[in-house]
Amino acid sequence: MEYSTLSDSRQDHKRFADYKSNAHNWITLATGEYYPDVLPYACELYKPVLVLFGQLLQSSESSERLLLQISEIRQTWIRTQLLRVFRKYVSPSTPVEMTKRKSSIKEIIVNFGSRFRPIHEVQAAYSSRPIPDEALCAILWEYKDRGKKGYDLTERFFEMVRARFPDLTIEGPDRAGRDILMGKVFPGYPNPNRPVDFVIKDEKDVLAIGLARYDSDRGGAQEDDRPGQYRSTIDEVLGYVQKHNLRTKVILLNDGPGLLLGSMWDDYSKLEESYLDKVMVLTLRMVPERLTLEWLQS
C-alpha cells in the first residue's frame, strides 16, 4: 500500500515518533492492587471453589472422571474457576480455551488424558494444602481482572471522543462485549469476520475504524508480532477503502508501559509513517493534541 505525499494538514501535526524523547510522559498507567493486601479478598472469593473442587475430587475414581464432573457444573463462573484449578493440579498442558468448551472435554481426555496426574496423587497434593490455599487464591485472583485495563482504555477513549466531537458517533463495546465485525461496517467487505474495536462515524460516513490495546508488558515474540498483526489489518482495510474511494482512516489506540520496552515505540512510529495520513497511533494523552476533526474528515 503506497501513498505518494503527506497532506498539508498532516505536515503541521506532530507524529507519534515526535513524542519518543519524553515518551514516559505520554503513556497512561493503569491502577493496580497491592500484594498481600488482596489475599483476604481472594481467599473469601475462591474458598468455595476450592472446597467444591475437593468434594468433586473425593467422588472421582479417576482424573478423567474429575474433569467430566467439573464440565457438568452449570454455573459458568464456578465451572471456569474449577477448570483453572484442574489445570494447576492435574494437567498444566491442557489448553485453557479448550477447557471452556464443554463439547471439547472428550477431545481433551483423548489427547491429553495420558498426561493427567493420577487421581491419588492429586488427592494427596490437595490434602497437603490449607483451605483456603492463599497461593492458589492469589493465582486465581490474577485472572479476575484480566482484560480490565483494556476495557478501561476503550471506555475512557469513548468518553473523550464523545466530548470532543459531539456531532460524531463512536460505536463498539465501551468495555466488555463483542467486537464489531467489518462485514457489519462495510457490506461486501472481503473479510467480513475481521474484528475491530471501534468505528467513528459522521452519520453514515465511516471516518475511522480502530484497534485498541493496553500493553502492561511487551517483549520477545509479542514485540515482533503486534506490529505485524496491525500491518495485516491496515493493508486489508485501506485496500478496501482505496478500491471504493472512501476516506476512512485507521486509528491504533495503544497505551501502557509496554510501549516503552524494546523497539515498540519505533515499530509503531514506522507503522504510522508507512501509511502517511491514513493511520494514526495514539495514547490517551495524545488524543486532545492529535485527534482532530480536520484529520478525521480529510
Q: What is the pLDDT of residues 8-26, one digit of tens each?
A: 444 457 899 999 999 999 9
Residue 44 has a CB neighbour count (10 Å cut-off) of 11
Residue 106 lies in a domain: yes
pLDDT at 12: 57
Residue 120 lies in a domain: yes
Residues 164 and 290 in one domain: yes
Residues 194 and 292 in one domain: yes
Residue 121 lies in a domain: yes
Mean pLDDT estimate for the chain: 89
Q: Which of 99, 117, 144 is the last residue of a domain?
A: 144
Which CATH number fits the domain that encloses residue 285?
3.40.580
Residues 261 and 163 in one domain: yes
Give residue 38's pLDDT band: very low, low, confident or very high (50, 70, 90): very high
Q: What predicted TM-score, i.e. pTM, was given to this entire model?
A: 0.74
Residues 132 and 153 in one domain: no
Residue 3 lies in a domain: no
Residues 135 and 47 in one domain: yes
The answer on pLDDT for 30 being more than 80 is no
Mean pLDDT comparison of 56-65, 89-98, 209-218, 223-232, highest-scoring range:
56-65
Question: Where in the sequence is the domain holding 112, given as residue range(s)?
Answer: 39-144
Do residues 291 and 210 touch, judged by C-beta distance below 8 A? no
Residues 161 and 92 in one domain: no
Kindly report whether the peptide bond that precedes residue 173 is cis, defined as omega within 30 degrees of 0: no
DSSP line for 219-238 = -HHHHHHHHHHHHHHHHHHH
Residue 2 lies in a domain: no
Residues 160 and 286 in one domain: yes
Residues 210 and 234 in one domain: yes
Q: Which of 125, 144, 163 is the last residue of a domain?
A: 144
Q: What is the 3-state secondary structure (H, E, C) of 191-221?
A: CCCCEECEEEEECCEEEEEEEEEECCCCCHH
Residues 178 and 207 in one domain: yes
pLDDT tens digits, one per residue of 59-101 = 999 999 999 999 999 999 999 999 999 999 999 988 777 877 8
Residues 185 and 111 in one domain: no
Residues 185 and 163 in one domain: yes
Give residue 226's pLDDT band: very low, low, confident or very high (50, 70, 90): confident
Residue 187 lies in a domain: yes
pLDDT tens digits, one per residue of 145-174 = 666 777 888 999 999 999 999 999 999 987
Write b or e for each residue in 116-138: b if 16 or more Cβ atoms lie within 10 A of its Cβ, otherwise e: beebeebbeebeeeeebbeebbb
pLDDT at 176: 67
Residue 191 lies in a domain: yes
DSSP line for the chain = -------HHHHTSPPGGGGGGGGGGG--PPP---TTTTHHHHHHHHHHHHHHHHHHHHT-SSHHHHHHHHHT---HHHHHHHHHHHHHHT-TTS-HHHHH-GGGHHHHHHHHGGGSPPHHHHHHHHHTS-SS-HHHHHHHHHHHTTTHHHHHHHHHHHHHHHHH-TTSEEES-SSSSPPEEHHHHSTT-SSTT-EESEEEEETTEEEEEEEEEE-S---HHHHHHHHHHHHHHHHHHHHHHHHTT---EEEEEEESGGGGSTTHHHHHHHHHHHTGGGEEEE-GGGHHHH--HHHHH-
Q: Which of 144, 166, 200 is the last residue of a domain?
A: 144
Residue 162 has a CB neighbour count (10 Å cut-off) of 12
Q: Which residues, 6 or more positions from 150, have their beta carbon under 8 angstroms from its beta carbon?
A: 212, 213, 214
Residue 77 lies in a domain: yes
Total number of domains in the chain: 2
Residues 197 and 97 in one domain: no
Nearest to 280 by CA among 254, 244, 259: 254
Give residue 3's pLDDT band: very low, low, confident or very high (50, 70, 90): very low
